[in-house]
Amino acid sequence: MSEWAAEVVVDEGTARRLIEEQFPELRRPSLRLLGEGWDMTVWLVDGAQVFRFPRREIVVPGLERELEVLPRIAPSLPLRIPEPAFRGQPDDGYPWPFYGAPLVAGQEIGQAGLDQAARDALAPELAEFLKVLHSLAPPIELPSDPMGRGDPSVRGPRAREVLARLEEAGAWSAPPGTDEWLTAAEQLPPNADHVLVHGDLHLRHLLVGDLHATGVIDWIDVCRAPRAVDLALYWSLFSDFGRRQFIRVYGELDEADLLRARVLALNLCAILAEYAHAEGVAWLLAEALAGLERTVS
């Protein structure tokens, strides 16, 4: 079985049954599959509500944290995020909680057809969003970087493993010099300055529309961690010009944190590229490979 395969498949029939039984006000809804990732199956209901269903048990604690955190921080943030409005419970046919939230409008960056100048124009908006997010006190007790995303000694070796598989598959090869800065990053000491972070802010989770950022989705990894954990897009989305615009709004960043973020950007883009290559998602593969190029250039 593929490592991307779900433990529980939430097809249209399952989604419809759960929604209709638990939320009578949504009787006979229209359903459209919005997306499937490693962790969630997402259905758009009546063109207005986005329902997220876990595909594997390990992500349930993260979904429960989303339910508690998102409504409390949404009013403070300058971009839209999901705000759970329908809280679903497990039943005999589906083992885990799920939820529905009003649709956050926009497209994934890889589907929006943006050139580099348009991507760089997003830098001040993302910087303002993260500046506010990182200033907020966590509204509940949250784990401290549970995935080690802010630790290059964890993420560096993982990046190397995925990059080796991409090269073996003929999908992408890291340029000379990549090993040197990866090695330098892996020797950095841990950063104990933890703030409230999205936790998994990569190319698929920033939405755009009309040449502006419109929202940030998929908060299942919300936690406390070094701010570098949310800075992967600084490397994988922007050029040097965009990065300067980001710093202008966000404020100066420690060089060590930028190096930590660069390792994470390499790791996340490599994982996305491997997934897209294995599943035949051409547009995502192109976006992930472009993100790798920006990160290492």
Q: What is the pLDDT of residue 35?
A: 86
Residues 200-226 have pLDDT tens digits of 999 999 999 999 999 999 999 999 999
- The whole-number pLDDT of residue 2 equals 55
| Average pLDDT of the chain, as a whole number | 95
At residue 37, the pLDDT reads 77
Arithmetic mean of pLDDT, 97-111:
96
Instruction: Inform me whether the pLDDT recorded for 27 exceeds 90.
Output: no
Q: What is the mean pLDDT of residues 76-93?
A: 96
Alpha-carbon distance 55 to 2, whole Å? 14
CA atoms within 13 Å, Cβ hemisphere of 7: 13
Q: Which helix (H) or strand (E) holds 53?
A: strand 49-54
Indicate the pTM of the whole model.
Answer: 0.94
Average pLDDT over residues 96-119: 96
Contact 133, 73 (CB under 8 A): yes
Q: What is the spatial distance between Cα 49 and Cα 31, in angstroms, rounded to a whole number?
A: 10
**How far from each other are the two terminal CA atoms of the chain, in whole angstroms?**
36
Three-state DSSP at 23 gives: coil
- Please report the DSSP string for 62-124 in residue order: HHHHHHHHHHHHGGG-SSB-----EEE--BTTB-S-EEEEE----EEGGGTT--HHHHHTTHH
Task: Please give the pLDDT value at position 255.
Answer: 96
Strand, coil or helix: what is 25?
helix
Q: What is residue 38's predicted lDDT score, i.e. its pLDDT? A: 78
Q: What pLDDT band is residue 9 in, cutting at 50, 70 and 90?
A: confident
Average pLDDT over residues 107-118: 96
Extract the tokens encoding 286. Answer: 């192109």
In whole angstroms, what is the distance from residue 184 CA to residue 49 CA? Answer: 45
Q: Give the model's confidence band at 233: pLDDT under 50 very low, under 70 low, under 90 confident, else very high.
A: very high
∠ CA 165-169-171, nearest 5°, is 95
Checking if the pLDDT of 1 tops 50, the result is no
Structural domains in the chain, CATH included, are 12-102 (3.30.200.20), 107-296 (1.10.510.10)
Instruction: Output the pLDDT for position 43.
Output: 97
Angle between helices 178-186 and 255-279 (to 10 degrees): 120
Q: Given this model, what pLDDT does residue 7 score?
A: 86
Across the range 239-260, mean pLDDT stands at: 97
Q: Which residues contact 102 (CB under 8 A, 6 or more apart)?
A: 48, 49, 50, 82, 83, 85
pLDDT at residue 296 in the model: 96
Confidence at residue 289, expressed as pLDDT on a 0 to 100 scale: 98
- Predicted confidence (pLDDT) at residue 21 exceeds the cutoff of 70: yes
Q: In this structure, what is the dihedral angle of CA atoms 138, 141, 147, 150, given to the nearest 10 degrees?
A: 40
Give residues with Cβ within 8 angstroms of 38, minimum separation 6: 4, 55, 56, 275
